[in-house]
A = this chain, B = another copy of it.
């Protein structure tokens, strides 16, 4: 689960709030949530280290604001590494940190599941093929 704005009614039940906030699974899933996040990780994983501008161009449609937010969040979570070179113009390179790489097997698992379900659904919706032959 993910913790939204704790409403007043819940804010009083600290036990419940803690139970949700302390869930370690939730903490990790919350990192991946939100638009663009897995997309950014995907680009870094498959394309290798990228500079800010390159990322912005490859993650089509993202705004600089959100890209910055996501990168800061991922950096804080140690999923992404930020290399800043104070040249002019400045050169900032983002790459997958060790923890980011550790997510790979799990993301692959999600991918396999997703593709399998997709196939199963497609097959289930195609009894016409058998009937037509």
Of A13-21, A46-54, A83-91, A125-133, which binds chain B?
A: A13-21
- Report the minimal beta-carbon distance from A46 to chain B, rounded to whole angstroms: 12
Expressed in whole angstroms, the Cα–Cα distance for A83 and B32 within the complex equals: 32
In the assembled complex, 8 residue pairs joining A and B whose CB atoms fall closer than 8 Å, in A order, are A1-B35, A1-B38, A7-B61, A24-B115, A28-B113, A28-B117, A29-B29, A105-B109
* Contact residue among B4, B28, B40, B106 (Cβ-Cβ distance under 8 Å from A35): B4
- Report the minimal beta-carbon distance from A7 to chain B, rounded to whole angstroms: 8
Interface bin, chain A = 35 or more
* Contact residue among B9, B19, B29, B106 (Cβ-Cβ distance under 8 Å from A38): B29
Q: When the two chains form their complex, are residues B110 and A61 in contact, meaning their CB atoms are under 8 A apart? A: no
* Contact residue among B1, B35, B113 (Cβ-Cβ distance under 8 Å from A36): B1
Q: Which residues of B contact A15 (CB under 8 A)?
A: 60
